[in-house]
Structure 1
Amino acid sequence: MDQKTFVQLGQGRTRYIYEGDTSNSESPLIVCIHGIGSASYSFQMLSEALIKSGSVRILRLDLYGRGHSDAVSDPHTGELFVDQVQELLEKLNLQNDKITLIGHSMGGCISALFTHKYPDKVERLILLTPAGLPWNLPTGSSLLKIPYLGRWVFGMLSSFVAPEKTVAENFFDLEYSKDNIATLLKNRGETEQSKWTDALVNSVNNFPLTTSVEQITEISRQERPTLIIWAEYDITTPSDICFPQWVKLFKSNPKAEFVVVKDTRHNLHCEEVELSNQLITSWVHGRDFKSMDLHKLRNTKSANVTLTARDEIIKKFWLDNKVQYSAYMI
């Protein structure tokens, strides 16, 4: 059950959810770290699937400034969030447990940075469209770095752009995903707009969204089971720019695996829910997902979605590199 549980950490109060087979310390511990604009609720459906799939413990948290955790005015650096995760583990007496990290977007980069700092703690790594390697942030992002003006401009834009549009941009098939989008919007509505805006601006200005090459390169050389999943039409961490960089770094690692989920955008685990759940739960339990007919779980109607100009560029990329990447496509 999703219960609001809080603990006081060094930089503020943190809301977390600890669920599953929590009475059994031998059960695998999975820590889920969400992205820049969401909170722990984005992993609710995956958490439920993992708990049903076998004996596991799931720990989700709201990063500072998101969900029900306290807002923090200090710079939202990678170190801030890595320390938040580590302090939470210590508070719950889980600091000595080996963990599987699941990180989405900025949470993927936080997972990589945590692994870099605490390599002996992280047994396995699942990265969903992770940030961290170089790409050009959206036009206008540089405005956010102008003191006061950036916060004011972004706040004004946020007041004119409906949350529905902001969330929907991270889904490929809006009709197919409408129920899941509504669920995300309901949960996001629990965070004050000004708090969410401040957190987003702070993270864009201070978090190494595109400059964590050194740390990610180092963990790519560690033979740790790692699953990297991308959305075919991701334009947030652009699939045509970011995915090849992660493959280049991790391909020589014998324990790294890659998946590209067709016809999805950035929130792929909230869009193709059943496919994502089956893929991740199978991998967590050591089953060979490549022998499974996961493609049969896909929404086949997404092939009829009208592509944008940016989508056409991405489509051409995948077609031009079909030989190199087709084995990863689901």
Structure 2
Amino acid sequence: MTATGTAPLATAVNVDSANPAIRVSDVPVGDDMVMRVNQSGQPGRPVILMLHGSGPGVSGRSNWEALMTGLAEEYHCIAPDIIGFGDSTHPDPSPQGFVPNMTLRIDKLIRMLDELGVDSVTLVGNSMGGMFSLRLAQLIPDRLERMVLMGSGGMPGLVPLPGLVKLVTFYDDPSEQSMEDLLMLFVSDKEAFGPSIRDIAGERYAVAAREDVRRSHLGTFAPGEFWTFPEEVLAEISHRTLVVHGRDDAIVSPEGSYYLAANLPNADLYVLSNCGHWTQVEQAERFRTILSDFMEGRI
């Protein structure tokens, strides 16, 4: 497998002129691969590693920019484009199937932490990023302080909602309009977020239209085994965990978060009303408050 990344091998850190709170760098993670990493706040502060979910055109920046900016005074936030997303390396050929892709991506996330010299993190994982968080809790438990799982997958036997099916099959009929239709499913209040969604859809479609992004998406969702976390596996993950879910989520059923909260030994569940799959976007202030309270031990 040849790694043909969209970003050069480099470690230079650049301040983003569009948002000076964000620093951008390309971190080498082995096998000629690099990971595009967005950071805010200063090293030495408590580290929050923000892991985005799946979907055409998604990236660390698009998922987390507002939250990273809002937390920059208190924490050191790290939001990578996971391998196979955004401006990180897109392997060519792509691994085929969810499990091979997850295995590669988890390995490179750990390598990224090593390269950045990060020994202790709080994980905030959205959707597929929640599944990454659970797997990291198994593999590097001593480096994890706590976890926040937002609309996470991982429940065995959970029937995919139509919104998730639309996400997975996006490239059957890709267009900017189909991107807008998909992203509208991510929020509960479509009237309030409609104009913003149209802008985001244009930006995301420009990324999703790239051949390397398409290749990685199709490889991720090629036929094969899906990664889940049985009850006995969750019972061994003892980290303090906050499970968050939008009550109106049309992508991942809240049933999945009830399952996680019931089987992780030290988990609490927080269900947000008037909220879909994009907790950090649709209920940004509420979620930032919840996250800060969790980090500081107030909840």
TM-score (norm 2): 0.80
Residue 179 of structure 1: CA displacement? 5.4
CA distance in 2, matches of 1:263, 1:283: 21
**Range with greater deviation from structure 2 (224-233 or 65-74):** 65-74
Please give the per-residue CA displacement for 1:257-314, whole angstroms capped at 9, x wherever unaligned. 11000121111211111111111112112223xxxxxxxxxxxxxxxxxxxxxxxxxx
In the alignment, which of 22, 47, 50 is matched to residue 29 of structure 1?
Answer: 47
In the alignment, which of 191, 216, 225 is matched to residue 199 of structure 1?
Answer: 216
2:240 maps to a residue whose letter is P
Per the alignment, residue 7 of structure 1 pairs with 27
Q: How does 1:38-49 map to 2 (within 5 A)?
A: 38-41=58-61, 42-49=63-70
Give structure 1 regions of 4+ aligned residues with deviation exceeding 4 angstroms: 138-142, 206-209
What is the aligned-residue identity percentage?
Answer: 21
Residue 74 of structure 1: CA displacement? 2.3
1:101 aligns with 2:123: yes
> Does the aligned pair in 1 maintain the 2:138–2:237 contact within 8 Å?
no
* Pair 98,174 (structure 1): closer, same or farther in 2 beyond 3 Å: same
1:257 aligns with 2:265: no
> Does the aligned pair in 2 maintain the 1:78–1:208 contact within 8 Å?
no
Residue 101 of structure 1: CA displacement? 0.5
Please give the per-residue CA displacement for 1:55-100, whole angstroms capped at 9, x wherever unaligned. x211110012211112121245321111111111111122xx1110
Residue 208 of structure 1: CA displacement? 6.2
Residue 181 of structure 1: CA displacement? 2.7
1:63 aligns with 2:94: no
Show structure 1 runs of 5+ residues with no match: 145-150, 289-330
Residue 105 of structure 1: CA displacement? 0.3
Per the alignment, residue 115 of structure 1 pairs with 137
Show structure 2 runs of 5+ residues with no match: 1-20
* Pair 243,140 (structure 1): closer, same or farther in 2 beyond 3 Å: closer
In the alignment, which of 153, 160, 168 is matched to residue 137 of structure 1?
Answer: 160
Residue 187 of structure 1: CA displacement? 4.5
CA distance in 2, matches of 1:179, 1:93: 40
Per the alignment, residue 204 of structure 2 pairs with 188
* Pair 208,168 (structure 1): closer, same or farther in 2 beyond 3 Å: farther
* Pair 140,227 (structure 1): closer, same or farther in 2 beyond 3 Å: closer
Per the alignment, residue 171 of structure 1 pairs with 187
CA distance in 2, matches of 1:236, 1:102: 18
The count of corresponding residues between Structure 1 and Structure 2 is 268
Greater share of residues in helix? 1
CA distance in 2, matches of 1:235, 1:122: 30
Larger radius of gyration: 1
Per the alignment, residue 305 of structure 1 pairs with none
Greater share of residues in strand? 2
> Does the aligned pair in 2 maintain the 1:77–1:207 contact within 8 Å?
no
TM-score (norm 1): 0.73
> Does the aligned pair in 1 maintain the 2:47–2:120 contact within 8 Å?
yes
CA distance in 2, matches of 1:182, 1:249: 38
1:170 maps to a residue whose letter is F
